[in-house]
């Protein structure tokens, strides 16, 4: 065993071996893996081995497609068999909502290059040889890539490919300690000796929590006990095999089950509601090649449902029961990437669908380690999406909820209730008494809208326009016709101070760093020129700045700031220490003038100005800008003064008709001006020149800002696609995101977001088209829930096109 290595991967499951292989594939050969027992000794060996591409996150779906296509490459490289069975997969829909979800997924697949299709009952009957009881079935989604494999053979193929690339694998060697060294490397103490590694990868699987704790890291994951059954030989399956075919996978979300062929019988597994977390307080080190005791009682209802859906099962004996633990994160997605707060410590955990996602996650982590970023937007699986506020008390109920709802319909407006409310602001009780209907972002409770008198304080999950429609409309009108108020807690906020603060900002941000008393808008770019932040910079003095961005991106952004630290600069995350309100609408200036002695006239307080002023008794930072696109102000104060600020503003605004508005109204208001949204229009999948953020770049500034070379090259060549806006002839369903855009009977682009502009009375969308096809008034179609609806490119803002109101 060598004692020094560039990368040490801890854990010999499918994910750890995939990471090891991809590191060698991308050129790092001085890498090694240590495993406490044999390869596959955790969850991998007892996995059902199914794989599929279906995933609500398009980047996850694409990486799952990569994983599935990788297996034949592994077989060719190693000469080993992965036991591949590409039998195709069918996901059943037993109600209209589920069928709408499948149609929406099919629409996404059109521009992703995934060859899926919607099936009717007759086609389902034919593909399953009549073995599915179609009572209540409306349709299904078919994916020819779905199938299953040999978990052990596949993991050993990854391992052999890694060894062929120069990797070393050491078995029966448990890690005892992981100690950080001053130079950023790690000392890993194992049973067979100490290893010094430049980078450490925690791919510990069931033991990832224990490995993380050695470095003082809490990883929000939990093993769940999962059970599946393997039947005796079934005559109908044997007949299919005799004809030279195989039975396809069948996912029955209504029955919480997945079904596939296993030899001459069937294998069926369940995501049952009466589920069981396993080893909540830690995984025993001596657990490994054991299974858990059979528990038929918890799957009794699911089995009975399966007998009705698949009658052949009731006539079949059970050959064996597999009951073992698999790890899940609170949202069901993997925890991948550099762990915030630690140098060169990487997570590769909670990949519960290891044979659908393991290859893609290994590729993503290897790219991240070697190139500094991932080819695709990693936010859906980035370990930084959960902050240091997570705890076992949060993780356990969220994982249970996710497990129970794994096969539930996922609605775009759905708010899941487990472990909530948890993180709240001083305004929570005030807004709660005002009929607030709550959403959450990064664990924080955020007002979506305020229910009208007599209405339920619950937004009905749906793919269509919801019961929040009228309340949202009234909140929009309150802003546009008078003045509205909205809490700004859900902004990420950072205080940047020090003699080199301006120089640091000039390097980290692509746009202009403003002069004292002014604001600027700027993208923050990765070295590749991709967008990793959309910021407002407020210059309070030459040595003090405030940055605001997405609240949900705190972990991502703070990690980037740490990675690009500079002497003479201090960056503090003050997102939860500084809060306040924005007020917006034609009466906003009048309201502000009533609560401060500062001059807030149009001449004294111009658009994009920032000033310190006293509001009521509170010392505040006030900046003249608003995401509503209206005349507006953002008023920031310390956390302890928020309730006082609210009392002052609401009392002064009573006769002005001041009304609170939530995020549903905010998202409608921003569409009037075609303002992009972080995570929708602006993300690491896109560039400034594609999205229009290039207008905020200071191309000629002297600083060698991050991403300059890539962005300058794209500017010279011109982007291949452009973000544009549409007015849509919708019915009762508006664009959400990822809907395909049709032109000349071909899919040429996709939507990034959309909704209903209540002020203009139009259904609208934003999305990408080929740059050479962009033209104002261009007629096209947008596919919404399987129906192509007429749409027109509309480049000018729908309201206040010249910005007169916003700048007045």
Q: How far is CA 518 from CA 180, 515, 546, 624, 626, in A?
A: 42, 6, 11, 9, 14
Residue 113 binned pLDDT confidence (cut-offs 50, 70, 90): confident
Q: How far is CA 258 from CA 128, 287, 353, 676, 776, in A?
A: 14, 27, 13, 39, 47
pLDDT at 744 over 90: yes
d(CA 271, CA 254): 11
Task: State the DSSP H helix or E strand holding residue 556, giving kind and residue range, or none if neither.
Answer: helix 554-563
pLDDT tens-digit series, residues 562-579 = 999 999 999 999 999 999
Give the count of beta carbons closer than 10 Å to the beta carbon of residue 25.
17
CB 200 within 8 A of CB 342: no
Task: State the DSSP H helix or E strand holding residue 790, giving kind and residue range, or none if neither.
Answer: strand 787-793
Q: Which of 626, 629, 589, 581 is nearest to 605 (CA)?
A: 589
pLDDT at 793 over 90: yes
- Residue 280 pLDDT: 97
Q: Which of 157, 195, 156 is nearest to 173 (CA)?
A: 195
- Residue 111 pLDDT: 84
The CA-based dihedral angle spanning residues 356, 358, 361, 362, taken in that order and rounded to the nearest 10 degrees = -150
- Residue 769 pLDDT: 98
For 283, the token pair is 């995984």
d(CA 686, CA 532): 9
Q: How far is CA 193 from CA 2, 38, 563, in A?
A: 9, 18, 31
CB 808 within 8 A of CB 629: no
* Mean pLDDT to the nearest integer, 618-632: 98
Beta partners for 321?
229
Q: How far is CA 400 from CA 88, 217, 363, 417, 422, in A?
A: 29, 22, 29, 12, 17
Contacting residues for 742 by C-beta, under 8 A, at least 6 apart: 748, 780, 781, 782, 783, 788
pLDDT at 438 over 90: yes
d(CA 523, CA 532): 8
pLDDT tens-digit series, residues 673-711 = 999 999 999 999 999 999 999 999 999 999 999 999 999
pLDDT at 110 over 90: no
Beta partners for 769?
722
Question: What would the DSSP string read from start to end of 356-405?
Answer: HHHHHHHHHHHHHHHHSS-SS--TTTBGGGS-TT--HHHHHHHHHHHHHT
- Who has greater pLDDT, 83 or 55? 83
- Residue 30 pLDDT: 98
Q: Please tell me whether residue 469 adopts helix, strand or coil conformation.
A: helix
pLDDT at 634 over 90: yes
Q: Which of 437, 441, 425 is nearest to 492 (CA)?
A: 441
Residue 125 binned pLDDT confidence (cut-offs 50, 70, 90): very high
Longest dimension (CA), the chain: 88
* Strand bridging mode 721-728 / 787-793: antiparallel
pLDDT at 80 over 90: yes
pLDDT at 778 over 90: yes
Contacting residues for 318 by C-beta, under 8 A, at least 6 apart: 229, 230, 231, 232
Q: Please tell me whether residue 99 adopts helix, strand or coil conformation.
A: helix
- Residue 114 pLDDT: 84
Strands of the sheet containing 531-541, edge to edge, are 519-525, 531-541, 544-550, 491-497, 570-573
pLDDT tens-digit series, residues 265-282 = 999 999 999 999 999 999
CB 643 within 8 A of CB 427: yes
- Residue 37 pLDDT: 96
Task: State the DSSP H helix or E strand holding residue 225, giving kind and residue range, or none if neither.
Answer: strand 222-231
pLDDT at 55 over 90: no
How many CA atoms lie less than 13 Å away from 729 in the CB half-sphere? 9
What's the whole-number average pLDDT of the chain?
96
CB 114 within 8 A of CB 288: no
- Residue 53 pLDDT: 86
Residue 451 binned pLDDT confidence (cut-offs 50, 70, 90): very high
Q: Which of 237, 228, 236, 273 is nearest to 254 (CA)?
A: 273
Sign of CA dihedral 54, 60, 61, 67: negative
For 313, the token pair is 């099962």
* Mean pLDDT to the nearest integer, 307-316: 95
CB 447 within 8 A of CB 439: yes
Beta partners for 650?
none
- The CA-CA-CA angle for residues 289, 295, 299, to 5°, reads 120
Question: What would the DSSP string read from start to end of 628-676?
Answer: TSSSEEEEEEEGGGHHHHHHHHHHHTGGGT-EE--HHHHHHHHHHTT--
CB 747 within 8 A of CB 740: yes
Contacting residues for 191 by C-beta, under 8 A, at least 6 apart: 172, 173, 174, 176
The CA-based dihedral angle spanning residues 424, 427, 432, 437, taken in that order and rounded to the nearest 10 degrees = -70
d(CA 799, CA 795): 12
Q: Is 140 left (phi over 0), alpha (psi -120 to 50) or beta?
A: beta
Give the count of beta carbons closer than 10 Å to the beta carbon of residue 319.
15
* Strand bridging mode 117-119 / 491-497: unpaired
- Residue 54 pLDDT: 83
pLDDT at 672 over 90: yes
For 747, the token pair is 């899919």
Q: Please tell me whether residue 593 adopts helix, strand or coil conformation.
A: helix
Residue 112 binned pLDDT confidence (cut-offs 50, 70, 90): confident
- Residue 474 pLDDT: 98
Most confident of 52-56, 110-114, 450-454: 450-454
Q: Where are the beta strands (DSSP E) in 410-530?
A: 436-441, 444-450, 484-487, 491-497, 519-525
Say if residue 38 is preceded by a cis peptide, omega within 30 of 0.
no
Q: How far is CA 413 from CA 83, 316, 440, in A?
A: 40, 42, 11
CB 806 within 8 A of CB 479: no
How many CA atoms lie less than 13 Å away from 407 in the CB half-sphere? 19
The single-letter DSSP state of residue 689 is H
d(CA 20, CA 469): 50
Beta partners for 148?
50, 85
Alpha-carbon radius of gyration of the chain: 27
pLDDT at 214 over 90: yes
The CA-based dihedral angle spanning residues 666, 672, 676, 681, taken in that order and rounded to the nearest 10 degrees = 110
CB 95 within 8 A of CB 254: yes
pLDDT tens-digit series, residues 464-479 = 999 999 999 999 999 9
Name the percent of the chain lying above pLDDT 90.
Answer: 96
d(CA 614, CA 593): 11
Cα–chain-centroid distance for residue 60?
9
Give the count of beta carbons closer than 10 Å to the beta carbon of residue 297.
8
CB 591 within 8 A of CB 601: no
- Residue 288 pLDDT: 80
């Amino acid at each position: 065993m060598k004692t020094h290595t560039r990368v040490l991967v801890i854990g010999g499951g499918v994910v750890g071996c995939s990471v090891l292989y991809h590191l060698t594939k991308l050129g790092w050969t001085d890498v090694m893996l240590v495993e406490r027992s044999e390869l596959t000794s955790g969850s991998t060996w007892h996995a059902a081995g199914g794989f599929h591409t279906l995933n609500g996150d398009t980047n996850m779906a694409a990486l799952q497609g990569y994983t599935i296509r990788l297996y034949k490459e592994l077989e060719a490289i190693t000469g080993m068999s992965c036991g591949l069975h590409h039998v195709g997969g069918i996901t059943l829909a037993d109600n209209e909502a589920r069928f709408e979800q499948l149609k929406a997924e099919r629409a996404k697949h059109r521009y992703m290059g995934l060859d899926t299709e919607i099936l009717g009952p007759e086609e389902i009957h034919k593909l399953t040889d009549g073995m599915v009881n179609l009572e209540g079935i409306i349709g299904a989604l078919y994916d020819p890539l779905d199938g299953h494999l040999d978990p052990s053979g596949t993991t050993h193929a990854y391992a052999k490919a890694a060894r062929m690339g120069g990797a070393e694998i050491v078995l029966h060697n448990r890690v005892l300690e992981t100690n950080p060294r001053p130079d950023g490397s790690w000392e890993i103490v194992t049973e067979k000796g100490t290893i010094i590694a430049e980078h450490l990868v925690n791919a510990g699987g069931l033991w990832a929590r224990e490995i993380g704790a050695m470095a003082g890291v809490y990883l929000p994951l939990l093993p769940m006990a999962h059970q599946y059954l393997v039947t005796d030989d079934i005559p109908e399956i044997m007949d299919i095999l005799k004809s030279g075919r195989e039975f396809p996978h069948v996912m029955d979300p209504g029955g919480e089950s997945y079904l596939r062929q296993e030899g001459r019988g069937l294998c069926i597994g369940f995501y049952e509601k009466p589920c069981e977390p396993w080893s909540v307080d830690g995984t025993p080190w001596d657990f490994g090649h054991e299974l858990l005791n059979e528990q038929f009682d918890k799957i009794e209802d699911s089995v009975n449902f399966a007998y009705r859906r698949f009658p052949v099962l009731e006539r079949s004996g059970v050959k064996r029961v597999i009951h073992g633990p698999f790890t899940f994160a609170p949202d069901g997605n993997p925890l991948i990437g550099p762990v915030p707060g630690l140098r060169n410590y990487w997570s590769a955990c909670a990949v519960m669908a290891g044979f659908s996602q393991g290859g893609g996650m290994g590729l993503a982590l290897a790219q991240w380690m070697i190139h500094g970023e991932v080819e695709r937007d990693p936010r859906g699986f980035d370990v930084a999406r959960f902050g240091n506020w997570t705890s076992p008390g949060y993780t356990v109920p969220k994982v249970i909820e996710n497990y129970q709802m794994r096969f539930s319909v996922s609605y775009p407006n759905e708010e899941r209730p487990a472990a909530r409310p948890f993180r709240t602001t001083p305004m929570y009780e005030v807004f709660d008494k005002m009929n607030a209907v709550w959403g959450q972002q990064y664990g924080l409770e955020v007002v979506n809208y305020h229910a009208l008198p007599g209405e339920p304080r619950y937004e009905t999950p749906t793919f269509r326009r919801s019961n929040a429609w009228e309340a949202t409309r009234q909140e929009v009108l309150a802003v546009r016709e008078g003045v509205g108020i909205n809490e700004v807690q859900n902004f990420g906020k950072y205080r940047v101070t020090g003699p080199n603060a301006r120089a640091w900002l000039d390097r980290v941000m692509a746009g202009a760093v403003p002069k004292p008393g002014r604001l600027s808008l700027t993208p923050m770019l990765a070295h590749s020129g991709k967008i990793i932040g959309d910021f407002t910079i407020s210059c309070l003095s030459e040595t003090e700045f405030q940055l605001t961005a997405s609240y949900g991106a705190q972990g991502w952004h703070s990690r980037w700031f740490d990675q690009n630290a500079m002497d003479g600069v201090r960056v503090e995350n003050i997102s939860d220490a500084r809060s306040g309100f924005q007020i917006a609408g034609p009466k906003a200036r009048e309201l502000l003038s009533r609560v401060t002695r500062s001059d807030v006239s149009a001449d004294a307080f111009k658009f994009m100005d920032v000033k310190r002023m006293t509001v009521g008794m509170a010392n505040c930072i006030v900046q003249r800008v608003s995401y509503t696109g209206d005349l507006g102000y953002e008023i920031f104060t310390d956390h302890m003064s928020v309730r006082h600020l609210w009392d002052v503003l609401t009392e002064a605004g009573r006769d002005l008709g001041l009304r609170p508005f939530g995020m549903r109204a905010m998202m409608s208001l921003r569409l009037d001006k075609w303002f992009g949204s972080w995570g929708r229009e602006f993300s690491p999948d896109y560039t400034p020149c594609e999205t229009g953020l290039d207008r905020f770049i200071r191309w000629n500034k002297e600083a060698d800002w991050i991403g300059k070379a890539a962005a300058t090259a794209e500017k010279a060549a011109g982007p291949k696609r452009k973000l544009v806006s549409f007015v849509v002839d919708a019915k009762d369903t508006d664009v959400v995101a990822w809907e395909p855009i049709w032109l000349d009977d071909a899919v040429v682009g996709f939507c990034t977001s959309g909704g209903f502009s209540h002020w203009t009375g139009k259904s609208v969308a934003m999305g990408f088209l080929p740059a050479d096809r962009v033209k104002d008034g261009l007629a096209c179609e947008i596919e919404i829930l399987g129906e192509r609806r007429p749409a027109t490119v509309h480049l000018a803002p729908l309201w206040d096109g010249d910005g007169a109101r916003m700048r007045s």
